[in-house]
Structure 1
Amino acid sequence: MLLSIYLRRLDRLRTVFAPSVRLISGKPISDVDDENLRCQMDQSSYDQKTVCEALTCYGNDWQKALEFFNWVDKESGFSHTTDTFNRMIDILGKYFEFQTCWVLINRMAENPLSVPNHVTFRIIFKRYAMAHLVQEALDTYDKLDDFNLRDETSFYNLVDSLCEHKHVVEAEELCFGKNVIGNGFSVSNTKIHNLILRGWSKLGWWGKCKEYWEKMDTEGVAKDLFSYSIYMDIMCKSGKPWKAVKLYKEMKSKRMKLDVVAYNTVIRAIGASQGVEFGMRMFREMRERGCEPNVATHNTIIKLLCEDGRMKDAYGMLNEMPKKGCQPDSVTYMCLFARLEKPSEILSLFGKMIRSGVRPRMDTYVMLIRKFERWGFLQPVLHVWKTMKESGDTPDSAAYNAVIDALVQKGMLDMAREYEDEMVERGLSPRRRPELVETSLEETLVCR
C-alpha cells in the first residue's frame, strides 16, 4: 500500500536531480500539507525489495527512476544496497546513460554495504553489448582488476553477453582468435562452446549452428545436457522439430538425465511435430521421472492447447497451476490472449490476471492495445492504458505508438497529438503519421 501511495505521489514530482525532490508547487516534501502522507513516509522504513519494486515501475523512464533513487537515499534515510544500485544501473544502461552508470559504480565502491559484484558488471556487459559497444565491454573487463573481479566468472559473463546480443563473431575471436586474453584459465571447455553455439542460434544462422555442432565433435569437446538443450532449441526454431525429438532419443540412449529446460524443449518439439497429445504424454513422463514442471512447461502446454483450439483445456491448466504450486506469469496469459477473439473474453481474462497479482509486462499491454485497435474498439484500448498507468508502469515507445494509432484510427487527432507531445517530452521518438503532420501544417497556416 505504501509503495502504491508513493508511486502516485511521484507522478506529481518534477523531473529534477537536486539533492531534495520538490513538488510542482515548489514546496519540499517536508512542507507538504498532506500530514498523513508525510507521517507515513517519515515513519516508514524502506527495504531493499520495496525500493527495487519502485525502480522497476519506472524501468521505462530513467529520469524518474534516478529521481526516486536519489530521493530515497537523501530524504528517507534508506541506504542503498548492491541490489538497488544494480537495478538503477540496469535502467540507466537501457538508455545508454553509461557515464552515470560509472558514477554509481564508483559510489558503490566507496561503501562496504554496496560493493560492486559480478551481477553489476554482467549488467554493464549486457547493456554495452545491446548498444553494440563491444570495445567498451572489453575495456570494462580489463578494468575489473580494480574491483578484484577479473576472473573466470566475469569472463563467462562477458562472452555470454556478447553472444546473447548478436556479437558472437567477436566473442569467438575473443576466445579462440589470435589475440586471446591471457586470463590464467582455459577457455577450451564445454561451457564456452555452449555459449558460442547459442550465440550462432541468436543470429539465426542455422547452417553455422550445424557446422559448429559438428566442429565440437571434431575437436573432442564433450557435449553435455546444455549442449543438447541448445541444439534441440535450434532444431525447433529452424523448423525441424522432428530432429529435436531425434536428439532427445539420443540423450536417452546415453542415459543423460534431463532437467526441466531440456524437457521443456522436447515438449515443444514433440508437440510441434506430432501434436499436443504427444506433448501431454511427455509432460506426464517428465513428472514420472521426478522432474517437476515449472511455469515455462505449463506455458508450453497451454500454447499447444491454444494452437489446437482446445481453449477449455487451456483454461483448465491455467486454473490447475496454482494448485500444483506453480503460479502463472504474464506469458501464461499472453498465450491465451493470442487466441481469444472476443473483446469481452479478453477483458474478463485481463481482469482475472490483475486480480490474481500477475503483473503484465509492457509487451502484454502492447499486445492487447494492438488487438483492440485492429478490431476498431477504442474503449478497451483506453481501459488497458488506464490499468497500465494505475499499476505504476511507465509506457515505452511501443505502447505510446499503439495507443496513438488507435486514436488516429478513430479520428481523435487532438488527443493523439497530446500523446505524441508526451512522448517527445520523455525523449521518445514517435513514428511519423501523415494525419498528424497534415493537421499540424493546417493549424500553422490558419495561425498565420
Structure 2
Amino acid sequence: MLFSRAARRLLRNSNDQLPVSPFRRLKTLPSASSLGESPLQTRKKDDYFAVVQHVSNIVRHDYYLERTLNKMRVSLTSDLVYRVLRACSRSGTESLRFFNWACTCQPASYAPTSVEYEEIVKILAQTKKYESMWKIIHQMRSQHLGLSPSTACFVIEEFGKHGLIDQAVEIFNKLKHFDCKQNVDTHNSLLFALCEVKMFHGAYALIRRMIRKGEAPDKRTFAILVNGWCSAGKMREAQEFLEEMSRKGFNPPVRGRDLLIEGLLNAGYLESAKGMVRKMTKEGFVPDVGTFNSLMEAIVKSGELDFGLSLYHSVCKLGLCPDIVTYKLLIPAVSKAGMIDEAFRLLHRSIEDGHKPFPSLYAPIIKGMFRMGQFDDAFSFFSEMKLKGHPPNRPVYTMLITMCGRGGRYVEAANYLAEMTEFGFTPISRCFDMVTDGLRSCGKHDLAEKMMQLEVSLQ
C-alpha cells in the first residue's frame, strides 16, 4: 500500500499526535472546501485515515500482527484504536489480539475508554466469541466502566439471532451488575430475541412485565411482536394483540393496520400487504408514510414498478405527504427503467415539497439519460443543477466520466475530469486511463498529454 511522506512520518514518529477529536462522532466527513480547511489540513486528515486503513489491513491479514505493529511504532489514541476495531468488525479473534496489544504496548500513553471496550464487545458478540466477550465485560467492570444500553441491546439481539435465548435472558438479568438500566430499549431487545425463537408466550409475558414496571411500550415494542406473529403466519393473533393493548390504553404510535402491513412485509408476504393497502385506499384511508416507504421498497425490489407508481399517485391524491425517503426510492427506480419524464416529475414534486436535490437524487436521472443516448440533455441538466446551487460530489463526477467514455464522448469526459479536480475531488486512476486512451484513439494527442500531466501533478 502506498503512503504519502507525511503518513510515513506519522508511522515512524511515536511522538506525533493528530488532533482527532473533532472527527470523533462524524459518520461522514464533509469536503475541505465546505469546512474552509487548508490543503495542509486536508492532507493531514487523509494521512491519518491512510494510517487507520494500513493498520486495519495488518490486523486482518498479518499472522504476526503484534510483531509488525511493534515495528511500526504507531502512536495510539482512543480514536485510532476505535476506528481500527470498527474496520475489523468481521474479524473477532484478530480484533481481540489488536485490542490486547493496544492495551499493553503503550500503557503510559494510552488507556482504553468505554468506547473501545464496547466496540470490541460488539465484535466478539457478532463473531460468536462469547467466552472472550464475557471476559471483556468483566474487565470493563473491574475498570469501573459501565455497559451502555445500546451495547447491551446489540449483544442481546445477537444472542437471539443465533437462537441462544438463555444467554440473552442471562445478560438481561445481569444488566444492573454492569451499571446498565433495564429500559424500554433493552426490553425490546429481549422481546426481539424471544420472537426470534418463536417464544411468543414469553414475549407477551415480558410486555406485561414492562407495563407493571411502569415502562410504556413504544412503536418498536408493538412492531417486534407483530412482525414475529406475522412471520409465523399468525395474523389473527397479531390483530388480537393490538386490540387488547388498545383496550388497556396502550395504543401504538401508529395505527395497528400500519404495523400489520409492515409485519407482513418483513415476513415476506408482499401480496397480502398490497391487498391490505388496496383495501385501505378504497376506504379512503392512507398508510403512514414510513409504512408506505417500506411497501414501496418491497415493490421496487420485486420489479412491479407500474403498480408502485399507480399506488403512489393514488395515496398522494388521498392526502399522503411523501418524504425524502419516498423520492430516494422512486427516482432511481424509474430512471433505471428509462422513464425519464416520470423521474423529472418526481424530482420537481420533491422540490415543491421543500426538499433540496442532492447528488444521489439527480444523478440517477443523468445516468438514465446517458443510457438512452441523450448526452446533450444530460450535460444541460447537470449544468442546471450546478447553477441552482446543487453541487455534485465525487461519485457523480466519476459516473459522468465513465458514461462519457462508454459513449465515446472523450473530450467532455476530459473536461469533467479537469473540473472535478478544481472542486478538490481526486479522480480515480481508472478514469484517467480511460480518458487518455480514448483521446489518443480519436486523435486528440495534445489533450491526452494534458490529462497525463494533470494526473502526475495530483500524485
Q: Shorter-chain TM-score: which interval?
A: 0.5 to 0.7
Equivalenced residue count is 311
Aligned to 2:119: 53
Following superposition, the deviation at residue 95 of structure 1 comes to 2.7
Aligned to 2:239: 175
Following superposition, the deviation at residue 99 of structure 1 comes to 2.1
Equivalent-residue separation in structure 2 for 1:324 and 1:53 (angstroms)? 37
Secondary structure of 1:169's match? coil
Following superposition, the deviation at residue 133 of structure 1 comes to 3.9
Equivalent-residue separation in structure 2 for 1:326 and 1:124 (angstroms)? 44
Contact 1:121 1:154 in 2 (8 A): no
| Structure 2 length-normalised TM | 0.51
Task: Map residues 262-301 of structure 1 onto 2, 5 A cutoff.
Answer: 262-275=326-339, 278-279=342-343, 282-283=346-347, 285-292=349-356, 297=361
Task: Map residues 151-230 of structure 1 onto 2, 5 A cutoff.
Answer: 151=217, 153=219, 155-162=221-228, 167=231, 169-170=233-234, 172-176=236-240, 180=244, 184-185=248-249, 191-216=255-280, 223-230=287-294
Write out the 4+ residue segments of structure 1 that deviate beyond 6 Å after TM superposition.
6-10, 12-15, 298-310, 323-329
Q: Tell me the amino acid that sits aligned with residue 329 of structure 2.
A: T
Stretches of structure 2 lacking an aligned partner (at least 5 in a row): 1-76, 399-424, 426-459
Equivalent-residue separation in structure 2 for 1:149 and 1:204 (angstroms)? 31
Q: For the aligned residues, what is the CA RMSD? A: 5.2
Aligned to 2:152: 85
1:94 is aligned, of 161, 173, 177, to: 161
1:122-143 Cα deviation digits (max 9, x unpaired): 2223333334444443333233
Secondary structure of 2:234's match? helix
Q: 1:188 to 1:115 in 2, by over 3 A?
A: closer
1:261 is aligned, of 325, 336, 350, to: 325
Task: Map residues 426-441 of structure 1 onto 2, 5 A cutoff.
Answer: none
1:129 is aligned, of 195, 217, 234, to: 195
1:179-224 Cα deviation digits (max 9, x unpaired): 9467613769962211211222334434423432244357775544
Q: 1:307 to 1:80 in 2, by over 3 A?
A: farther
1:249-305 Cα deviation digits (max 9, x unpaired): 234434543211222233245335543564355335423531246797579779968
1:107 is aligned, of 174, 182, 192, to: 174
Equivalent-residue separation in structure 1 for 2:81 and 2:254 (angstroms)? 50
Q: 1:13 to 1:292 in 2, by over 3 A?
A: closer
Contact 2:169 2:190 in 1 (8 A): no
Following superposition, the deviation at residue 66 of structure 1 comes to 1.6
Q: 1:288 to 1:192 in 2, by over 3 A?
A: same
Alignment identity in percent? Answer: 13
Aligned to 2:107: 38
Greater relative contact order (Cα < 8 A, sep 6+): 1
2:207 is aligned, of 128, 134, 141, to: 141
Contact 2:96 2:120 in 1 (8 A): no
1:241 is aligned, of 305, 320, 323, to: 305
Q: Tell me the amino acid that sits aligned with residue 355 of structure 2.
A: C
Secondary structure of 2:191's match? helix
Stretches of structure 1 lacking an aligned partner (at least 5 in a row): 16-20, 24-28, 334-355, 357-448
Aligned to 2:454: none
Q: 1:82 to 1:14 in 2, by over 3 A?
A: closer
Q: 1:261 to 1:328 in 2, by over 3 A?
A: farther
Q: Tell me the amino acid that sits aligned with residue 289 of structure 1.
A: D
Contact 1:55 1:68 in 2 (8 A): no
1:124-181 Cα deviation digits (max 9, x unpaired): 2333333444444333323324543253546424335426xx5263354232379946
Equivalent-residue separation in structure 2 for 1:285 and 1:161 (angstroms)? 33
Equivalent-residue separation in structure 2 for 1:52 and 1:309 (angstroms)? 52
1:314-358 Cα deviation digits (max 9, x unpaired): xx9xxx9xx9799999xxx9xxxxxxxxxxxxxxxxxxxxxx9xx
Equivalent-residue separation in structure 1 for 2:186 and 2:390 (angstroms)? 35
Instruction: Give the number of the structure whose alpha-carbon radius of gyration is greater.
Output: 2
Aligned to 1:117: 183
| Structure 1 length-normalised TM | 0.52
Equivalent-residue separation in structure 1 for 2:255 and 2:336 (angstroms)? 29
Are 1:62 and 2:131 counterparts? no
Equivalent-residue separation in structure 2 for 1:114 and 1:327 (angstroms)? 42
Equivalent-residue separation in structure 2 for 1:109 and 1:269 (angstroms)? 48
Following superposition, the deviation at residue 70 of structure 1 comes to 1.4
Equivalent-residue separation in structure 2 for 1:177 and 1:144 (angstroms)? 15
